[in-house]
Chains A and B, each alone.
Chain A
């Protein structure tokens, strides 16, 4: 059957793409729109490496069909820095070495940004529960959690 013709907004830009029903939003982002920042870890919604925002809501892009985003707004890791200027979370992750291999990092950053927009002064417990769906198999989570707390403090100072 013919491919679906989808129009959506990705990182503020109007985009059009063609996709098969079976293709997930993650497939579309990576393979069609060449936005390869979102990663495929498990493809079953367990690891969070493909986290994106869909209409302001944190989701796993591997659990969304490409055709479901017709008319909707998607934000990915590629939209996080403003030009050459990294988001305070990105700066803090570099400063605190809160990553090793980096596969989980885009998802962790997207999820953390979503948390800090809702809860600018989260407790450590809140950060850990919010990020429970973002698995890291390198560093352990302490550096990630403290980087998020530190970035939250920076953001609160404005």
Chain B
């Protein structure tokens, strides 16, 4: 098994594009190393992207925020201005695993692991985040919701990697929130997750579920609007039945979480005025 730690995106892309056999990107390693240990994966090449400047930076860009794919949850939490602009994205990233895992786990890894239970992904989608991909054919931007096609299936070509995410500029009186349901208090994998981003405290944008956004756009998020949001979130739900939750339970909880997350985001947006 070969290990490479290039210091440029071009270097990483060249290694991955030219790889014989299976190649994997290593960011925080909190999923990759576990899968290697469990013999789910046995890559021939590991490309560590943490020495690449662009993947490790949080910078302001066009009034929004660019977050490198290999920035850890702990680093996001310590970034006071980012946390104020996008508390939902930061809290979602910090629900991933323990303190130890938060010291390593990254937004890029959480997305590219391709799990439907990834905590930071709904928050990024609700935020309208765009992933910047770099590959053999150059650079392209893709909305986060279009990167993951299904469980473990990504829209990335051979040699293509997620380099960073761009969170859009924040209007006044805007905020976001992420909630998940787990049977324990901490350290678990989401059975249901819901991310909501609100703008202007009266209008709303929930990019994941267009019908849910429609249900509350133009409203003051009063009780009837909350009920419409719950119903829309449930209607859009396509969960699976497994030992962690039934379809019926997950659908019910999705509505409740969407409503609660919207109310938290509303409260935060009001305090940002």
Contacts and interface: CB of A to CB of B under 8 A. Distances in A.
B59 interface: no
Given A21-B3, A63-B34, A130 B101 contact: no
Contacts of B20: none
A134 to B, nearest CB: 8
A67 B3 contact: yes
Contacts of B5: 67-68, 70
Nearest to B50: A68
A45 B99 contact: no
Contacts, number: 88
Contact of B187 (A22, A44, A133): A133
A15 interface: no
Given A21-B46, A68-B48, A58 B103 contact: yes
A59 B106 CA distance: 13
A65 B29 contact: yes
Contacts of B98: 45-46, 48, 132-134
Interface in A1-50: 1, 4, 20-22, 24, 43-46, 48
B190 to A, nearest CB: 16
A62 to B, nearest CB: 7
Interface in B22-37: 26, 28-30, 33-34, 36-37
B222 interface: no
Centre residue among B104, B185, B187 by max chain A CB count within 10 A: B104
A60 B26 contact: no
A67 B29 CA distance: 13
B242 interface: no
Contact of B34 (A45, A57, A133): A45
B36 A45 contact: no
A57 B100 CA distance: 8
Interface residues of B, number: 28
B99 A130 contact: yes
Contacts of A130: 99
Contacts of B104: 57, 59-60, 63-64
A57 B2 contact: no
Given A21-B3, A60-B101, A133-B100, A43 B29 contact: no
A111 interface: yes
A109 to B, nearest CB: 14
5 contacts: A21-B46, A62-B37, A63-B104, A65-B26, A65-B46
Given A44-B38, A62-B33, 19 more contacts: A1-B1, A45-B34, A45-B97, A45-B98, A45-B100, A54-B103, A57-B74, A58-B100, A59-B104, A60-B100, A63-B28, A63-B30, A65-B46, A67-B3, A130-B99, A132-B187, A133-B98, A133-B101, A134-B98
Interface of A: 1, 4, 20-22, 24, 43-46, 48, 51, 54, 57-60, 62-65, 67-68, 70, 111, 114-115, 129-134
Interface of B: 1-3, 5, 26, 28-30, 33-34, 36-38, 46, 48, 50, 72, 74, 97-101, 103-104, 185-187
